[in-house]
């Protein structure tokens, strides 16, 4: 997500959008994050944290797939932004809730810290890694497919990483 957000305007322009359209698409992400978070509050915890995490991760992947498949379509760009924004917004909530559900309240702080250090390192390195790939000849037009591979891998990794007892508790 961090790499995508840093390179967003260039990625959208490589798909054929104008700079003005790319900026407009980018402005949709933030409000969609808020709407998704408010939806979670309104649902009042009716969605289990494990399921919420899967939904969030899947929404991000779906959004990135729409980005990679879209051409010079403002509608497709907005669709990407809605899916990606909602997924990104829900991931912020799910990250803390899933850790609490799996490890319990007594170990929450320790495990949140352990997991967060990896997240922060990846968020710091990812924009540079994508820049290196783009600079090495991948280009922005193909960079979206790298992001598709990464986000789909995240969906699979999330599903595999959830302990069996947590999966059994999910509807």
- What does pTM read for this prediction? 0.90
Burial (Cβ within 10 Å: 0-12, 13-18, ≥19) of residue 19 = exposed
Cβ atoms of residues 92 and 37 within 8 Å: yes
User: Where residue 171 falls among pLDDT bands split at 50, 70, 90?
Assistant: very low
Query: Above 90 in pLDDT, residue 147?
Result: yes
How far is residue 163's CA from residue 31's CA, in Å, rounded to a whole number?
A: 33
Please report where in the chains the tokens 């710091």 appear, as a residue. Answer: 124
CB half-sphere exposure, 137, CA atoms < 13 A: 0
Which pLDDT tens digit goes with each residue over 43-78? 887 899 999 999 999 999 999 999 999 889 999 999
Percent of the chain clearing pLDDT 70 (strictly above) = 95
Q: Which domains does the chain have, with CATH numbers?
A: 2-169 (1.20.1250)
Q: Using alpha carbons only, how large is the chain's radius of gyration in Å? A: 17
3-state SS, residue 15: coil
How far is residue 156's CA from residue 136's CA, in Å, rounded to a whole number?
A: 28
Sign of torsion over alpha carbons 160, 162, 168, 171: negative
Query: Above 80 in pLDDT, residue 166?
Result: no
How far is residue 46's CA from residue 44's CA, in Å, rounded to a whole number?
A: 6
How far is residue 144's CA from residue 164's CA, in Å, rounded to a whole number?
A: 33
Mean pLDDT of 89-93: 93
Q: CA distances (Å), 20 to each of 5, 23, 30, 152, in order?
A: 16, 5, 17, 29
How far is residue 110's CA from residue 127's CA, in Å, rounded to a whole number?
A: 28
Residue-level pLDDT at 94 = 92
Lowest mean pLDDT among 15-24, 80-89, 105-114, 141-150: 105-114
């Amino acid at each position: 997500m961090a790499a995508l957000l840093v390179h967003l305007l260039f990625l959208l322009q490589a798909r054929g959008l104008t700079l003005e359209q790319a900026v407009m698409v980018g402005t949709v992400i933030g409000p969609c994050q808020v709407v998704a978070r408010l939806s979670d509050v309104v649902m009042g915890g009716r969605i289990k944290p494990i399921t919420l995490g899967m939904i969030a991760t899947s929404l991000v992947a779906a959004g990135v797939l729409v980005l990679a498949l879209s051409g010079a379509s403002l509608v497709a760009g907005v669709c990407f932004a809605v899916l990606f924004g909602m997924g990104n917004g829900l991931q912020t909530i799910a990250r803390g809730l899933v850790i609490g559900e799996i490890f319990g309240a007594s170990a929450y702080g320790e495990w949140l810290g352990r997991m967060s250090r990896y997240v922060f390192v990846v968020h710091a390195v990812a924009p540079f890694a994508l820049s290196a790939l783009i600079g090495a000849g991948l280009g922005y037009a193909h960079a979206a497919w790298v992001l598709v591979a990464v986000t789909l891998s995240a969906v699979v990794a999330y599903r595999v990483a959830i302990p069996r007892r947590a999966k059994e508790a999910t509807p």
